[in-house]
């Protein structure tokens, strides 16, 4: 049992798994921030401009009720969340471009690129 525990700990502590866990938790928190921004800021502003931004349309078929209005509301919310995410990414890209242009953030090659350059150097030295 100790062997499996050690293997599990080694697996979890590898960079990829740990980074994935951090990304997942951060994404979950970011999702909540964006959802609250849409719910409490964007939706009320849209509601003030064009009216209540919630659809309550239903269709009754026998004893069943199809709430297609709720689905339309979900689609509108998806569009608003997508727009907010788009603006966040555009802002981040502009920030990175300014930092790179100002020379504050040098473009460093990835670990894979460094390794490939070393391999290329060794191969050139052999030929």
- Do both 27 and 66 map to the same domain? no
- Do both 106 and 120 map to the same domain? yes
Q: What is the pLDDT of residue 54?
A: 65
Instruction: Tell whether pTM > 0.75.
Output: no
- Do both 88 and 44 map to the same domain? no
The domain of 63 spans 54-127
- Do both 15 and 69 map to the same domain? no
- Do both 67 and 17 map to the same domain? no
Instruction: Kindly state the tokens that stand for 79.
Output: 């569009």
Contact assessment for residue 83 and residue 92, using Cβ atoms and an 8 Å cutoff: no
- Do both 18 and 44 map to the same domain? yes
- Do both 45 and 86 map to the same domain? no
Return the ∠ at Cα 11 (arms to 119 and 4), rounded to 5°: 130
Q: What is the DSSP letter of 108?
A: P
- Do both 43 and 65 map to the same domain? no
Q: What is the pLDDT of residue 106?
A: 64
Contact assessment for residue 105 and residue 99, using Cβ atoms and an 8 Å cutoff: yes
Q: What is the pLDDT of residue 38?
A: 83
Q: What is the pLDDT of residue 29?
A: 84
- Do both 31 and 81 map to the same domain? no
Q: If the chain, 127 residues long, is cut into consecutive pieces of 10 residues, what is the mean pLDDT of each piece?
A: 83 72 82 85 82 74 82 84 86 85 72 86 86
- Do both 43 and 58 map to the same domain? no
Angle between helices 15-37 and 68-101 (to 10 degrees): 120
- Do both 39 and 59 map to the same domain? no
Q: How many domains does the chain have?
A: 2
- Do both 43 and 64 map to the same domain? no
CA distance linking residue 118 with residue 13, whole number of Å: 27
């Amino acid at each position: 049992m100790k062997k499996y525990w050690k293997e599990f700990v080694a697996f979890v502590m590898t960079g990829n798994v740990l980074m994935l866990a951090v990304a997942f938790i951060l994404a979950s928190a970011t999702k909540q921030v964006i959802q609250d921004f849409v719910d409490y800021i964007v939706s009320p502003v849209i509601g003030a401009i064009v009216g209540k931004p919630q659809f309550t349309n239903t269709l009754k078929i026998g004893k069943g009720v199809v709430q297609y209005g709720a689905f339309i509301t979900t689609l509108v919310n998806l569009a608003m969340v997508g727009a907010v995410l788009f603006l966040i990414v555009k802002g981040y890209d502009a920030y990175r471009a300014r930092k790179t242009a100002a020379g504050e953030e040098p473009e460093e090659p990835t670990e894979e690129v460094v390794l490939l350059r070393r391999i290329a150097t060794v191969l050139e030295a052999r030929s």
